[in-house]
Structure 1
């Protein structure tokens, strides 16, 4: 399902994403890193990850073009097989530029496209991530590095699936290469990032995912999510699937604006964030919260209700001291 098209058809198009300027700058930096057959990129791989190998005087860059993602994934697997050769024997470096990998996610293949994969002379494989955020004095923003490590860990998992089909299976390195601009220039620099922890977490999460066929079995009979459907029919189809909106959805889901509007219409407290929802216990709507604070509803022995009523009293006392009538506009906080 194309969630971006679906959101547009519902009248709540997604507006998040990388800016055109950042996209252009990132592409220009990646092109510079991979120029001259990837000479600079391979130099960084050798320097950071494999100094014991022969320096990469030249590299083989196979053509990975094919029809469709399935064809590109098959071509990538073949190129990796051909480049690996005999483990332990001397060989040349190979650079796979934008290979296509497949990873089973809840019973459906997800196609992934790393920036690059390097095959070392010993037959081992390394994932390369190229980012446009800078490394200042040898270090980068920890949050951005963490996000890049999580992304690279998924590629490592997908590469391990490819390696498992070869006999003998080549080694997929768990230290990936992160390439970024140096300081405020456009010159590339790199750092090795160990993604073993991120890989283990991702593997566990994938194993726990509900299978797609099980999710499909819970849908109403005949429900469809085609953007070509009439607006009323499409809205009804989307509403037939439970959704719990939280502000974090805005950075990850194309349907977030649609779900936020619905959440606000129903007064769901999750629109205020998951931490607030957790504090409020069984009070699931804003109206329930206000009624509990006013003493009109709720169990007085409930810690959330007691905290709300205490907050309401403190608010009223503060407004009275300031000479302002409290009214019934809301509650300042839960504690």
Structure 2
């Protein structure tokens, strides 16, 4: 009992500290599966882990810092996605049941439990109960936008898949509805990969529930060609599950990152706060920048600017950074190539010297 009380007290204390980092009276932004998949792809970034756990609006922070994000979904694409999902789930999800292979049961529609509850904790509890009831119901059940909870680096994250289908045999299937098209039987591999990583996060959250095991493949539903007709394909996410589990396990616990911050640190924006003050707060948290962050993190352009200012080789990409060993700046790399490095015992320095000699010989010819 004391262990449970201590854990509850620790969680409450962490939530209070994260609220202070976010700013007084500022509601937290939800940490969704897309953000978790991006975070799992870069587990060494304490900056993103902390700001996401605290529910900080990273987009607002980036705008104050003068380095706004340059990605996102257009309003047209967003509206099209909403309309397409509504079609997929019309008539008690009859079309979705057909795509799931429900046979004659598709004409009868699915059982749709009410998942409305007060607050995230209430919705999570209601989802858990609905899944338990559906597992033994012996018929097709569709949970429309259930809410799942997953602990990430010691902090809870609430996740909302498009749907979870429970078959008559009790097996759970995550359903992802996307608005990008399947053209001539194939879809954009980059978009499919991103959807698979996102869905893998939902499967991991479902695995925390003991009632039944979710399937290791997810149903991806997309429009066919340029129409609004839905087609679906089962995507095996076992590889994404393995990678995401490993990466999430490597995340530094949030309380450890927060404990290293200067007293009084906050990421609140507004009220005339100077950008330099906010930049100092952001830079007080270690980041792990890579060019891939530009497509997934609102603070990526600020982090890239900082990496370039200090001449960090991480701005050149993870593969280059990995090849350069203990050489962490462009200045060190150029010194090594010119034979003036203090890292003579580093194999990367020897390789750079050899490459410089070969380049000089090639240019002389």
Q: 1:221 aligns with which of 240, 255, 263?
A: 263
More helix, by proportion: 2
Superposition deviation, residue 315 in structure 1: 4.6
CA, structure 1 residues 62+306, in 2 after alignment: closer, same or farther (shift >3 Å)?
A: same
State the alpha-carbon separation in 2 of the partners of residues 104 and 56 from structure 1: 39
Q: Larger Rg: 1 or 2?
A: 1
Aligned length: 308
Distance 1:72 1:155 in 2: 15
Decide whether aligned partners of structure 1 residues 279 and 115 sit closer, same or farther in structure 2, where only a CA change above 3 A counts.
same
1:39 aligns with 2:94: yes
Q: Aligned in 2, Cα 1:175/1:312: closer, same or farther, shift over 3 Å? A: closer
Report the CA distance shift for 1:196/1:299 in structure 2 as closer, same or farther (over 3 A): closer
8 Å Cα contact 2:91-2:109 kept in structure 1: no
| 1:143–1:105 distance in 2 versus 1, CA, 3 Å | same
8 A contact 1:298–1:305 mirrored in 2: no
Deviation at 1:280, TM superposition (A): 2.5
8 Å CA contact 1:16–1:251 kept in 2: the answer is yes
| Equivalent position to 1:76, from 120, 127, 135 | 127
Query: Using the alignment, how far apart are the partners of 1:62 and 1:209 within structure 2?
Result: 35
How many Å separate the matches in 1 of 2:319 and 2:239? 26
**Mapped partners of 1:299, 1:103: distance in 2:** 43
Residues in 1 aligned to 2:345 and 2:255: alpha-carbon distance in whole angstroms: 43
> Are the structure 2 counterparts of residues 98 and 257 from structure 1 closer, same or farther at C-alpha, using a change threshold of 3 Å?
same
C-alpha separation in 2, matches of 1:318 and 1:118: 62
CA distance in structure 2 between the aligned counterparts of 1:261 and 1:6, rounded to whole angstroms: 15
Residue 57 (structure 2) pairs with residue 2 (structure 1): yes
Partner of residue 192, structure 1:
234
- Once the two structures are superposed, residues 207-259 of structure 1 have per-residue CA deviations (whole angstroms, 9 ceiling, x without a partner) of 34322222222223332222244323222222222223221221222111111
CA distance in 1, matches of 2:78, 2:359: 48
Which has the higher mean CA deviation after the structures are superposed, 257-266 or 7-16? 7-16
2:161 corresponding residue in structure 1? 114
1:130 aligns with 2:174: no
TM-score by length of 1: 0.81
Measured in 1, the distance between the counterparts of 2:245 and 2:328 equals 33
Question: 1: distance between equivalents of 2:346 and 2:212?
Answer: 58
Assess if the C-alpha contact under 8 Å between 1:94 and 1:119 holds in 2.
yes
Provide the alpha-carbon RMSD of the alignment: 2.6
SS in 1 for 2:146: coil
Stretch of structure 1 that moved more, 66-75 or 175-184: 66-75
Contact 2:94 2:106 in 1 (8 A): no
Where 2:234 maps in the other structure, the secondary structure is strand
Map of 2:222 onto structure 1 = 180
Does 2:125 correspond to 1:99?
no
Higher relative contact order (CA 8 A, sep 6+): 2
2-side partners of 1:80 and 1:65: how far apart?
A: 14
Task: Note if contact 2:179-2:222 (Cα within 8 Å) is conserved in structure 1.
Answer: yes
Q: Which residue of 2 aligns with 1:331?
A: none
Residues 311-322 of structure 1 aligned to structure 2 (within 5 Å): 311-316=355-360
Cα shift at 1:6: 1.8
